[in-house]
Amino acid sequence: MGVDWQTFWPRIVEATGQTILMVAVTLVIGSIFGIIIGLLLFVTRKGNILENAFLYQIINFLINIIRPIPFIIFLVAISPLTREVIGTTIGTWAAIFPMSIAAAFSIARVVENNFISIDPGVIEAAKAMGASPLQIIYTILIPEALGPLVLGLTFITISLIDFSAMAGTVGGGGLGHVAMTYGYQRFDTSVMIVTVVILIVLVQLAQWVGNTLSRKILRR
Amino acid sequence: MITFKDVSKTFTIGKREVHAVRNVNLTIEEGEIFGIIGFSGAGKSTLLRLVNVLENPTAGAVEVQGVDLASLRPTEVRKVRRRIGMIFQNFNLLTSRTVAGNVAYPLKLAKMPRAKIKERVEELLRFVGLSDKAKDYPEQLSGGQKQRVGIARALATSPDILICDEATSALDPDTTGEILRLLKKVNKEFGITILLITHEMHVIQSICDKVAVMEDGEVIESGGVFDTFTSPAHQTTKRFIRSVQQDLPSPSLLDEWRQKGGKQLYRIIFKGEVASDPVLSRVTRKHDIDVNIVYGSVQEIQAKFYGNLLVSFDGDVGKTANAVEELNEIVQIEEVDVTWA
Ligand SMILES: Nc1ncnc2c1ncn2[C@@H]1O[C@H](COP(=O)(O)OP(=O)(O)OP(=O)(O)O)[C@@H](O)[C@H]1O
Ligand SMILES: [Mg+2]
């Protein structure tokens, strides 16, 4: 059996749009929270500019319990919360909620690692020049870590495309949903191939944008 | 200008205590170049970091321009830090900013207007001789150039004090010389007090007015560079001096000297102007003996001569004794016992 491509194309286009929307919105929300959490984690570390063992332990613990949970399980596990916040557990926005939470904690770890790799001497130099903790954050930490941070976010974006496909299989819409209903349940190979090709193109695109940006920032 | 009053700093790592600085009393006067020398782990960096409150003392007080640093609130600490420039062994430049951006950074922190910043940055880069590198990034510079940027950046807010943590330790000898000359110029032209730490006696010898020797967190000796250099009191100080000035030949050479029936050796120390006098030849000619310079050097320390020579005399024993006696009135002379060497 085959599909009617005449009516199918618009569905593909719509699903691609949904995937891009899910990934883009999640990336923005996840980055905002991820950077804030990662920053808090870094500055509250022992010996750092706003050392606070209590806060550090709490954030560290949260990240460590959320990150290892496979996304598909996390998705289902927090669905009651999703229903509370979004009002439904089905559709693009209902997928964005758990994706953003998972992304924020992954990004937090990436951000923390990028900050750790900044030469502590540079932070010390800024301090010696009279920079306040807040000034250190936005004039040293963020600009100095930006290049590797963009690469880290690119990596996250690609796993978000993966997440979005999983969210699609449980009613999130997007290419995952299309692949599931047409490809898996109706054994339509051509639909499968089309979605796979689109996913590959999206991943390549994300990688290319990320590489180009980080190369600009890192000047190499 | 900077006073350490019975200052101690103890780090506690778990249950272990590290006494990085112990009971240090020092005064650094306005306008001088003060060097602190010591081996690795002596506590030099810790002592230096107390001056701009990167560390706080566990006992005692550090005063800068008459103000006890412990009495300051965080905002006041940041103001004081702008009066104290700091340069580092590893330069610590911001990799995401250009040379000009690095020099402009402390001015931005101090909220100087944009146009003024530009002017000041140009002036500073001209001073350190890097006008043509303004748009380069730190990774494109050599070590010496990076340190020049570090110096320009440290001078940006027109500080009264410059503190240097091993500023030349990562540089080759030529570049070290260049940077030291630049520091001297900073001191002369702007009257900036410099407090530097180093493990190289050569650095102390070339630019410092005063020196303090640190060991195990303590200042074991301090004073004028010339005096400390020419009459060191402490064994560690002597070791540092020997690193720039060999005062005894190697044991194997001494051995050979003895086996060949070498005569009694004398050490003659000239200080200040005396070194330029032809003392030796005059006195030996008068007593009709010959002098044989076996070993030694004449150096310039703080624009004064310092000679340290190992000599022997050929001639009649009585005449030699007379000559030594006469020399002893003009210079420092002593018999050297080489049997232990
Ligand atoms: N933040 C710290 N925490 C714990 N111990 C420290 C700390 N900073 C320095 N120390 C210890 O204090 C002692 C003195 O260190 P310091 O860095 O002041 O020595 P230094 O004379 O500058 O040595 P170097 O020439 O190697 O730089 C060392 O034993 C060091 O391990
Ligand atoms: Mg040190």
> pLDDT digit string (tens) for B13-48?
889 999 999 999 999 999 999 999 999 999 999 999
Mean pLDDT of A69-89: 90
User: Tokens 């530009």 sit at which residue?
Assistant: B118
Measured CA to CA, the distance from residue A124 to residue B66 in angstroms comes to 25
Ligand 1 atom with the shortest distance to the CA of B55: 1
Task: For Cα atoms B16, B17, B21, give the angle at the middle one, nearest 5 degrees.
Answer: 155
Residues paired with B314 in a beta bridge:
B290
Which positions ≥6 away from A97 have C-beta within 8 Å? A78, A81, A82, A85, A86
Which positions ≥6 away from B13 have C-beta within 8 Å? none
pTM equals: 0.85
Question: Above pLDDT 90, what percent of chain A?
Answer: 62
In A44-91, which residue ranges form alpha helices assigned H by DSSP?
53-66, 71-77, 79-86
CATH 3.30.70.260 occupies which residues in chain B?
A: 251-336
Measured CA to CA, the distance from residue B306 to residue B219 in angstroms comes to 25
Extract the tokens encoding A133: 């903790």
User: Tokens 């001497």 sit at which residue?
Assistant: A121
ipTM (interface predicted TM): 0.83
Question: What's the fold here for domain B2-242?
Answer: Rossmann fold (3.40.50)
* Of residues B254 and B90, more confidently modeled: B90
Centre of ligand 2 from the C-alpha of residue A177, in Å: 61
**A121, A125, A144 member nearest B96 (Cβ):** A144
Look at ligand 1, atom 3, and give the residue with the nearest C-alpha.
Answer: B11
Residue range A14-218 forms a domain whose CATH class is mainly alpha
Mean pLDDT of A43-49: 90
**A121, A132, A146 member nearest B78 (Cβ):** A132
> pLDDT digit string (tens) for A125-160?
999 999 999 999 999 999 999 999 999 999 999 999
**A144 CB near a chain B CB, below 8 Å?**
yes
* Of residues B113 and A185, more confidently modeled: B113
B11 in ligand 1 pocket by Cβ < 6 Å?
yes
B115 in ligand 1 pocket by Cβ < 6 Å?
no
Give the least confident one: B122-131, B151-160, B234-243: B234-243
pLDDT confidence of residue B219: 96
Instruction: Give the SS3 label for residue A175.
Output: helix
Instruction: Give the SS3 label for residue B162.
Output: strand
B282 confidence band (pLDDT: 50, 70, 90): confident
Give contacts of A129 with chain B, Cβ < 8 Å: 81-82, 86, 105-106, 109, 153, 157
Q: In CATH terms, is domain B251-336 a member of 3.30.70.260?
A: yes
> How many Cβ atoms are within 10 Å of A124's Cβ, its own excluded?
17
Centre of ligand 1 from the C-alpha of residue B11, in Å: 9
Closest by Cα among B13, B34, B84, B18 to B216: B18
**A84 CB near a chain B CB, below 8 Å?**
no
Extract the tokens encoding B12: 């506690």
**Burial bucket for residue A84 (CB in 10 Å: 0-12, 13-18, 19+):** exposed
User: Tokens 């590797």 sit at which residue?
Assistant: A148
Asked if B52 lies within 8 A of A219 by C-beta distance, the reply is: no
Asked if B109 lies within 8 A of A140 by C-beta distance, the reply is: no
B13 in ligand 1 pocket by Cβ < 6 Å?
yes
